[in-house]
Amino acid sequence: MNNHFDENWKILKQVKPPASKKEAIRNRITHSISNKTKERTVLRIFEWKNVMLTSLFLLISAGILFQLQYNYQKKEAPDSSASKNAQFTWNAAKIYGEESEDGYAFFKEGSSIPVGYADIVTEEEQKKITSTGAMYVEKELEHFPYPTTLYIEHVKMTDVSLRYHFFVKAENKTTHFSFDFPKLEYAEIFNFIATLKYKNQKPYIHDEQLYATHGYDTLPFPVGLNPVEKNGHTEKYIWENASLKEYNKYLNKIRSTGEWEEKSMGDSSHIFTSVTGYEVVKITLNGKRISYEFTYPEQGE
């Protein structure tokens, strides 16, 4: 078998193409090698371009995602002060402040419309503010962090029905806070005032639950409620400090006002009627969620 292979190899070596054929074969081989080299070069350039474009795309995408995440976090967790040099801070969710020419402006997260203002006022300026406008309520707030006087002004505007005025005495000055309802819910307004903390004067911390009435009503609400839903005459809140003990204290607070009579009670729901008979409220506590269902019987019933 090996001898047969050697004989064929010798015969093949004896085959010699003419000179013209040799040159044609040589050119064909050279051209083929050249084309293969060019194809590999173009392929490599194309591959590198793909790698570079992919890398550039990933870098740009990462930058966009980082910026979106930063903006989202910034909106989700706004600072609880108007600036680093602000004289006070607060701990009310979704409310942030900005310095203005006259003091501070407050905004609710997701809106560019101011919901309130604050500035330092003199005694004369306070008297001027409280003597003008339709002020219907004047009340000293008990056990709040700083001596605070509340006024409620009736406002005839399309987006504002009530304006809450607070005069807070701290650091030997009086700060005038004003908030517009319903741009801010009652619970949000009182959460702001109840969590105020001035840099140069420590707040008074009351050991018991704070209460406040909403609007012109006489029904006390716990301070520290976070609004969840308001649909018609039904209001729902999250009460973080809720417990069976605190709930019973709250019910006793309502009974002690002399403005409400308890009509029925259950395991978690209680119904109160105003002494005027104009308003009925069913209060229900379910875990940390407390709800109020208001009804308004016709006068005389």
The per-residue pLDDT for range 78-123, each reduced to its tens digit, is 445 555 567 899 998 889 999 888 899 999 999 999 999 999 999 9
Name the residue with higher pLDDT: 298 or 283. 283
pLDDT over 70, % of the chain: 70
> Alpha helices of 77-151 — where are they, by DSSP H?
123-131
Q: Stretch 62-74: mean pLDDT, rounded?
A: 43
Q: Rounded to an integer, what distance in angstroms lies between the CA atom of residue 84 and that of residue 91?
A: 15
Please give the pLDDT value at position 266. 78
Going by their DSSP bridges, the two strands 114-121 and 173-181 should be labelled as: antiparallel
Other CB atoms within 10 Å distance of the CB of residue 237: 22
CA 119 to mean position of chain CA atoms: 25
Classify residue 172 as left (phi > 0), alpha (psi -120 to 50) or beta: left
Q: What is the mean pLDDT of the chain?
A: 81
Q: Rounded to an integer, what distance in angstroms lies between the CA atom of residue 184 and that of residue 204?
A: 25
Name the residue with higher pLDDT: 147 or 55. 147
Tokens for 178, please give them. Answer: 């004003």
Say whether pLDDT at 43 is over 50. no
Please give the pLDDT value at position 299. 53
Q: Rounded to an integer, what distance in angstroms lies between the CA atom of residue 221 and that of residue 210?
A: 9
214-269: pLDDT as tens digits: 998 999 999 999 999 999 999 999 999 999 999 999 999 999 999 999 998 877 89
